[in-house]
Amino acid sequence: MSRLWIVILVGVVAYGLAAWAHAADTDNSPTPEQYQQYAEAHTGDAARGRTLFFSERLPCTMCHNIGQPGEVGPNLAGVGLRRNREQLIAKLLHPSGDVTSGYRRVRIALKYGGLVNGLLRAETPTAIQVRSDDGTTWIPRSDVATVVQLPGTPMPDDVYDGLSTREFADLIAFLSSQRS
Ligand code: HEC
């Protein structure tokens, strides 16, 4: 290898290292572990959390309502009864982990051909209710060949982006206080 090439190579490696160190230095948004640890150790302030939830800094109200049914996500009015603090923290940091019943993604194969992809809303002994792009429909079980559960949730996994750890704890306090 010629000397010039060695100089270029060393230069490129050094530049890469510097850029990497700089990125590591300036990106000080908390990691999921830091949010979790802070919110486990601090109760947070529910009133500040409420203001955050309804503010434009967070996308929550695009999908959720408190009191009336949300268009996309569940009504969060009683969420503090359904999930304890630990579960609320986990839900925000890893939304696809514990998907709320009524919102699980399924793929249904019909006996006479055809597939329906959507959210499994309800089940009875004789029928399955699915919400898909075409709307919400009941499918008689007698028409169903197979139901496959799919991973994931419509809830995005970066909803806490831009929050400080303290604000995250406030949001958890607000959700936890929803007990009606
Ligand atoms: C793009 C739509 C969308 C956005 C934005 C969104 N969510 Fe969700 N969320 C959902 C859906 C759909 C579910 C139900 C499926 C599931 O459990 O993952 C859900 C479930 C939840 C649950 C569990 C509800 C229960 O009844 O157990 C909580 C808590 C929650 N979201 C909080 C939030 C908060 C707080 C924000 C804002 C920081 C937010 N979500 C933003 C769509 C959304």
Looking from the CA of residue 75, the nearest atom of ligand 1 is 26
Looking from the CA of residue 96, the nearest atom of ligand 1 is 18
* Least confident piece of the model among 22-31, 59-68, 81-90: 22-31
Looking from the CA of residue 95, the nearest atom of ligand 1 is 18
The residue nearest atom 16 of ligand 1, judged by CA position, is 99
The residue nearest atom 42 of ligand 1, judged by CA position, is 155
Residue 15 has pLDDT above 80, yes or no: no
- 173 C-alpha to ligand 1 centroid (Å): 16
Q: Is 85 in the pocket of ligand 1 (CB under 6 A)?
A: no
Residue 20 has pLDDT above 80, yes or no: no
Cα gap 175→172, rounded to integer Å? 5
121-160 residue pLDDT tens: 999 999 999 999 889 999 999 999 999 999 999 999 999 9
Please state, rounded to an integer, the average pLDDT across all residues of the chain: 89
164-177 residue pLDDT tens: 999 999 999 999 99
- 58 C-alpha to ligand 1 centroid (Å): 12
Q: Is 82 in the pocket of ligand 1 (CB under 6 A)?
A: yes
Q: Is 50 in the pocket of ligand 1 (CB under 6 A)?
A: no
- 65 C-alpha to ligand 1 centroid (Å): 10
Q: In the CATH scheme, what is the code of domain 32-99+163-176?
A: 1.10.760
For residue 66, what pLDDT is reported? Answer: 86
For residue 160, what pLDDT is reported? Answer: 95
* Residue 10 binned pLDDT confidence (cut-offs 50, 70, 90): low
Q: Is the pTM of this model over 0.95?
A: no
pLDDT (mean) for 107-131: 96
Q: Is 73 in the pocket of ligand 1 (CB under 6 A)?
A: yes
* Residue 27 binned pLDDT confidence (cut-offs 50, 70, 90): low
Fold of 104-150: SH3 type barrels. (2.30.30)
For residue 180, what pLDDT is reported? Answer: 87
pLDDT (mean) for 9-37: 70
